[in-house]
Amino acid sequence: MKLMKKCTGAFLTVLLLVLPAGCSKKDGNSTANTKAGGNLVIYTGSGTEITDPILALFSRQNPNIKVEIIKAGSGELMARIRAEIGNPGGDLLIGGEPYLYESSAEVFEPYVSPTDKDMVISASDGLWHPWSVMLTPIAVNKDRLPNQSAWPTKLSDLKEPRYKAEKIAFCDPGKSGTGATIANNIASLYDWEFFTSMLDNSEVLSGSDPMFDAVKDGTYPIGFVNEDLGVKWLEVGLPIALVYPTDGVINTVDCLGIIKGAKNMDNAKLFVDFFGSPENHQILVNEVKRRSTRKDAKLAEGMTPTTAYKLIQANRISRGEITEKYNEAYEISRKK
């Protein structure tokens, strides 16, 4: 697939150079579209902290479209999309990196949105549409680890024996896109042997939400969290610290795409156009706390510029390959 800019290390360099800092001030109000109607079914692994403010704006702009959200792990959703080929139950998938769409092109519908040109990266055929750069720092529960000297500062620290007793919260890459991103980033920075050593110290949970909650609630002292959720935890005063590892920060580009043969195709295209709009990206920045992929978007107030971090350049391998390598690593780890 020919891309306008490839999602590789070169892309990350371009992205870092063009993403501006500061706080967006654009007006989020717009005239309601009363002509569009019908239904729209969205598959997503994203939590309500992301989807609720976005859908509230979409519903204000398109009051006659009934939106249904079906939430599950990305592994389950991709299996469902494949099983429904020819009779799709969903119209859109929100979430997943560009390569997820490219490696499953047969189940997604190309659509070139007018907003694609406003992004710092896009697919020339419109198979996927980027909306944020998501960083995934290490999360530390300060009640469980009150001494900062005990916190990891690098991903390489996570294989140290001192973390084996209390465990590091992780999630199954076969069920969770977040888990797949974490596993692939760590293995790309080091290798799968290193990742296996980290698994020796980890408790693998069923999905990203249980992983997030396990650190937030103090079940485990250390884990991973998507940056936007972690920032919200800090804003409400939870005893959480976000650690951006000095050897490399886990990251991905989040996209959305139309499912091939979507039954509500016009509404799906309308939603893609909406999702890339300045009004929606204002919500993504200021309320959701994401790093927008729009060229004219800015960071939420108080967020550190992306250029301050060393981002991992992840290998471009499919979810199936990641899951296979993870399963091998897990089996080796649990036999020790």
Q: What is the pLDDT of residue 253?
A: 96
The fold adopted by the segment(s) 135-250+309-334 is D-Maltodextrin-Binding Protein; domain 2 (3.40.190)
Count other C-beta atoms under 10 Å from residue 80's C-beta.
16
- Supply the pLDDT for residue 34: 67
**Could you give the CA distance from residue 95 to residue 186 in angstroms, rounded to a whole number?**
20
At 107 the pLDDT is: 98
Whose tokens are 């209390």? That residue is: 166
Domain ranges of the chain: 16-134+253-303, 135-250+309-334
Cα of first residue to Cα of last residue in the chain, in angstroms, is 42
Whole-angstrom CA distances from 311 to 6, 67, 306 are 16, 35, 8
Q: How far apart are CA 331 and CA 139, in angstroms?
A: 26
Phi-psi region of 114 (alpha: psi -120 to 50; beta: other; left: phi over 0): alpha
* Beta pairing, strands 38-44 & 92-94: parallel
pTM of the model: 0.87
Q: Which two tokens stand for residue 224?
A: 């991973």
Distance, in Å, from the CA atom of 73 to the CA atom of 142, rounded to the nearest integer, reads 28
Neighbour-count burial for 144-158, b at 16+ CB within 10 Å, e otherwise: bbeeeeeebeebbbb
Identical fold, 16-134+253-303 and 135-250+309-334: yes
Cβ distance 108 to 102 under 8 Å? no
DSSP strand E in 21-178: where? 38-44, 65-71, 92-94, 108-109, 129-136, 138-141, 168-171
CATH class of segment(s) 16-134+253-303: alpha beta
- Blockwise average pLDDT, block size 10, the chain, 336 residues: 42 51 46 81 95 97 97 93 98 95 96 97 96 98 97 98 95 94 98 97 96 98 97 97 98 98 98 98 96 95 94 94 97 91
Among 114, 172, 161, 97, which residue's Cα sits nearest to residue 323? Answer: 172
| Cβ neighbours, 10 Å, residue 319 | 22
Q: At what angle do helices 48-61 and 227-235 cross, to 10 degrees?
A: 90
3-state secondary structure of 169: strand
pLDDT value at position 33? Answer: 74
